[in-house]
Amino acid sequence: MSNIKREQLVVIGNGIAGISTVEQIIKLGGSFDITVIGQEPHPNYNRIMLSYVLEGSKTLDDIVLNDWKWYEDNRITLHTDVTVTGIDAERKIVETDKGITVPYDKVIMATGSSPFILPVPGSDKKGVIGFRNIADCTQMLQAAQTYKKAAVIGGGLLGLEAAKGLVSLGMDVTVVHLMQDIMESQLDHTASEMLQRELEGQGIRFLLGKQTTEILGDARVTGLRFKDGEELEADLVVMAVGIRPNVAAAKLSGIEVNRGIVVNDYLQTSVPGVYAVGECSEHRGACYGLVAPLFEQGQVLAKHLCGVEGQPYEGSIVSTKLKISGVDVFSAGEFMEQAEHSVITAKDDWRKTYKKILMRDNIIVGAILFGDVSDSASLQSMIRKQTAMTEEIYHSIMGTECAGKGKGKAFSLEQMPDDEIVCGCNGVTKKAIVDAVTLQGLTTVDEIKACTGATRSCGGCKPVVEQILQSVLGDGFKTAGKQGICACTTLDRDEIIAEIRAKGLTTTKEVMHVLGWSHPEGCSKCRPAIHYYLAMLNPVTHQEEMESRFVNERMNANIQKDGTYTVVPRMYGGVTTPEDLKKIADVSLKYDVKVVKVTGGQRLDLIGVKKEDLPKVWEELDMPSGYAYAKSLRTVKTCVGSQFCRFGTQDSMGMGAFLEEKFERLDFPAKFKMAVNGCPRNCAESCTKDIGIVGNDGGWEIFIGGNGGTKARLADSFCKVKTDEELVEICGAVMQYYRETGKYLERTSEWVERMGLDTIRTAILDDPKQRKELVERIEVALQQVEDPWKKVLNDEKLRGTLYQDARPVSSK
């Protein structure tokens, strides 16, 4: 058996469609050596969760479906940031833009789609973008820091999600839509009108029936002009008017292409050995832009490639759910009534709910739900199976009493096929959930989430997961599993700290083992958190665990989307010397640094350093790291203060440099920023810092809990002090109290609101004894810390191991 040659399978595309197919192949025991080629510099992430990244409720780490380690564990060769240019079917070679060629026996094309950009004058201006990937999110997040007026062209699913995200970033957002109803491809007029009112209440404006004819501005967009001559001011324009399948490589390879890559019922293209799945494919004249069909196609293809008997793919009945927090909308099948339809509707203006079921010859063929989507999975299943309407189903969906029976129950586990997808975001079937319950003994939704991935994204499938658990377990179903710091544990932050203290735990692995982690190796959320808690509790005895740090902390630099890094040397208080500037210039030239940027924290950022050059760059700079990547003190921003400014009353530069040198290197729950102003004119912007300090004639005023990021917050006035010694003491006490009571990744802006300003004042200002103890503890911690990177750079073996590591903990 060991001498049998494994077939070479190449997957072109590292998105949901391609990787879900690979997951199915692995589950079926397929014998392939697998190579995945992806255009983006990231592992596989959940593209449909981008709206949550945009609004700030999730990070890239949160939406990663398969991290770097998953590829390693499954012996998958992954090429990121690489574009396939063609397939040589005669030589059976996949060719790329980076000169990489990969031989194949089978190829899966999962190239996805690209946003359609309206061909109007000005569409190439700066500030005009699509909304399709993490890079688009990054552009929007950056734009929101500078610009305030956004226009989203397109009132469909993606456009509305983008609009809500931009509103959450504090932008003034207008959705421009050609039709008179938003989401007109999924909703009728009633549901569309209800949705519009709800979104207007959340701050989104709408211009309906407007055709964009020109994008205004010189180099950068300044607005839109419409066919009726009206104009709209905008300095960011997001195009969300549709998608186009990515078929360029298929065309160049001689594969049959119509709108998408043409495939048969087993997802085969016109070229033998080449298959296509997902948004790039066209099956029976249909291209699907929603996620559920991608999983259905992947299941069929995986069985076909593995030689497992299965049904052909015959198309999908699509359904839609809007992923906007606070808004529940569902649509499936036919939704606009025609003469042949029988229609059931129920509208409740007080509860803001709307239900509509369409039938043809008493067979359920479509549905719309607004406000209450708990029956969405049941209805989708009925539409797919062409279920006939019954009294029981009617009363269950409409919430009325069924004569002699009470309320009906539409859900039936027995009637649901094993391969029916319950979680459309992650492609989890009914069978996967039932197996997790019956074979692994899981009893809660949280356990199912950790094991299968169901409910971990939008959460829309949670009601069906609960119904499956209820059906299988009966009275053994636990309705509410306790939330832990991540899916690996049900323990929260305080419980973990208490257990570490009580049991004398000293390492991350020991904590996870003793406290019964469901995943023995933990995840990218809990490993760094435990590492921080251990160091905070036992600063003298704690041993550094580099493997529990995020990639940026491990590399001593910030990773960028192209795989290069940015290096930020420390400049205490924003002050440097001509000698240090010359070193930065010399190193930048020697190592071909792409850009040297002045940061908002008054430092210089060397952008575009190659990974292999990082040790030499730091060695030749011979400057301390600015920790621009760390959960620690980043910068202390200062004005010129009394040394030079005619308005300055205090030496802000001297105090800023002192504070930065004193507290650098110390870990915090999250990144930490400070500012020192020499007078109340606030040139260093103390009002948006974790600790802001403002000088006055009588001394200093201290502010805490400010944030200038995606969740902006003005700092609260904490106290006034007369001497420099009092200032340093109280700053140290605040920092240590935050270190000891803050949750991992919780900024001080969130910490202050959770703890309460009065509680923090009482602990530090009203209790001199406790303040003294806090200062003593932070001094002990400061005595233990030294820049770990000095040790790395001075240890050739350690340095080589670190910088050759290609699979670090994912960035945060």
Fill in the DSSP letter of residue 324.
B
Of 416, 488, 424, 478, nearest in space to 454 by CA: 424
How far apart are alpha carbons 409 and 479 in whole angstroms?
18
Burial zone of 5 (CB within 10 Å; 0-12 exposed, 13-18 middle, 19+ buried):
exposed
Tell whether 526 is in a known binding site: no
- 3-state SS assignment for residue 243: strand
Yes or no: say if 363 and 386 are a contact pair by the CB < 8 Å rule: yes
> In this structure, is the dihedral angle defined by the CA atoms of residues 339, 340, 343 and 349, taken in order, positive or negative?
negative
C-alpha separations of 632 from 339, 605, 623, 625, 629 in Å: 66, 18, 18, 12, 9
How far apart are alpha carbons 463 and 481 in whole angstroms?
14
Q: State which amino acid sits at residue 385.
A: K
Strand blocks (E) in 229-300: 231-233, 236-239, 243-245, 261-263, 274-276, 281-283
How far apart are alpha carbons 780 and 768 in whole angstroms?
18
767-776 contacts: CB < 8 A, separation 24 or more? 771/729, 771/730, 771/733, 774/732, 774/733, 774/736, 774/737, 774/740, 775/729, 775/732, 775/733, 775/736
Tell whether 645 is in a known binding site: yes
Fill in the DSSP letter of residue 5.
P
C-alpha separations of 276 from 111, 349, 448, 464, 507 in Å: 8, 45, 31, 30, 46
Yes or no: say if 67 and 45 are a contact pair by the CB < 8 Å rule: no
For the chain, what's the residue count? 812
- 3-state SS assignment for residue 221: strand
Residue 637 in tokens: 């921003």
Strand partners for 721: 700
Site of tokens 């308005």:
647
Tell whether 523 is in a known binding site: no
Alpha helices, H only, 713-767 = 724-741, 748-755, 757-764
Q: State which amino acid sits at residue 248.
A: A
Backbone angles phi, psi at 449, to 5 degrees: -60, -50
C-alpha separations of 132 from 36, 56, 136, 396 in Å: 20, 17, 6, 38
410 sits in the region (left: phi over 0; alpha: psi -120 to 50; else beta) called: alpha
How far apart are alpha carbons 804 and 796 in whole angstroms?
12
Yes or no: say if 147 and 178 are a contact pair by the CB < 8 Å rule: no
Strand bridging mode 274-276 / 106-109: parallel
The answer for residues whose C-beta is within 8 angstroms of residue 294's C-beta and 6 or more apart is 16, 17, 20, 277, 278, 279, 288, 427
How far apart are alpha carbons 246 and 15 in whole angstroms?
13
Tell whether 679 is in a known binding site: yes
Secondary element (H or E) of residue 716: strand 716-721
C-alpha separations of 34 from 156, 241, 297, 302, 514 in Å: 36, 35, 19, 13, 36
Binding residues: 639, 645, 679, 683
Binding residues for [4Fe-4S] cluster: 639, 645, 679, 683
Binding residues for siroheme: 683
